[in-house]
Amino acid sequence: MPAPSSGVDAMTPYQLPNPPEAQREIVVESAIPQDERLWVPQAENVWFRPLCLNVSTGYWMNLLRVRKSGVLSRHRHPQAVHGLVLKGRWRYLEHDWVANEGSYVFEPPGETHTLYVPEDVEEMITYFQVNGVMYYCDPYGNYTGYEDVFTKLDMCRAHYERVGLGASYVDQFVR
Ligand code: FE
């Protein structure tokens, strides 16, 4: 521990400016929003809610919401993904285990899987950090499409424009 200067206690805030190049913080008051318009539709019964779209490092933090028997298309991760289940329950068609409310999941680079929410789950919400790219593929790994932080950003802009919030609504989540 550094030696304390005289007259300074633990409750004294940091006195110097942050580096000028540092990004601004993001504070989202209602991460799980009251306003339904904040959920960006992604597929049938699948939505995402952006929290941080990091264009300088190439990852995105978002809530994924899936309702009744929704499927998130088969995809491969070249980079790691971290997930924390906030509500509901889901599994991958490729694994035996089930992610329950409160579960943490690490998806290793090289993993290909299909996220499935069973019919008896009304709604699942999971907080995901996705790094790099989602590589969508057929059951044999052949390329069918991709998403990255820039395609997510485009989806947000188009959706927020459509629902009347304006395309620039998403700017607050971009760093
Ligand atoms: Fe995944």
User: Average pLDDT, whole number, for the chain?
Assistant: 95
Q: Ligand 1 mean position to 73 CA, how many Å?
A: 9
Share of the chain above pLDDT 90, in %: 92
User: In CATH, what number is assigned to the domain containing residue 164?
Assistant: 2.60.120.10
Q: How many CA atoms lie within 13 A of 129 on its CB side?
A: 12
- In this structure, the number of other CB atoms found within 10 A of the CB of residue 133 comes to 18
Residue 1 domain flag: no
Residue 62 domain flag: yes
Q: Ligand 1 mean position to 150 CA, how many Å?
A: 17
Q: Are 148 and 81 in contact (CB under 8 A)?
A: no
Q: pLDDT tier at 69 (50, 70, 90 boundaries)?
A: confident
Residue 167 domain flag: yes
For residue 57, the cross-strand partners are none
Residue 10 domain flag: no
Q: pLDDT tier at 1 (50, 70, 90 boundaries)?
A: low
Q: Ligand 1 mean position to 106 CA, how many Å?
A: 9
Q: Ligand 1 mean position to 126 CA, how many Å?
A: 11
> Looking at beta carbons, which pairs linking 155-164 to residues 24 or more positions away fall under 8 Å?
155/40, 155/42, 156/40, 156/50, 156/53, 159/40, 159/41, 160/37, 160/40, 163/37, 164/37
Q: Ligand 1 mean position to 86 CA, how many Å?
A: 16
Q: How far out from the chain centre does Cα 62 lie?
A: 2
Residue 168 domain flag: yes
Angle at alpha carbon of residue 151, lines to 72 and 79, rounded to 5°: 65
Q: Ligand 1 mean position to 22 CA, how many Å?
A: 30
Residue 17 domain flag: no
Number of structural domains found in the chain: 1
Q: Ligand 1 mean position to 14 CA, how many Å?
A: 39
Q: Which two tokens stand for residue 77?
A: 């991760």
Q: Ligand 1 mean position to 74 CA, how many Å?
A: 8
Q: Ligand 1 mean position to 95 CA, how many Å?
A: 12
Share of the chain above pLDDT 70, in %: 96
Q: Record the pTM.
A: 0.92
Region 57-71: mean pLDDT is: 94
Q: Which two tokens stand for residue 15?
A: 């006195």
Segments forming the whole domain that contains residue 66: 36-173
Q: pLDDT tier at 150 (50, 70, 90 boundaries)?
A: very high
Q: How far out from the chain centre does Cα 103 lie?
A: 16
Q: pLDDT tier at 2 (50, 70, 90 boundaries)?
A: low
Residue 111 domain flag: yes
Helix %, strand %, coil % for the chain, to 5? 15, 40, 45
Residue 95 domain flag: yes
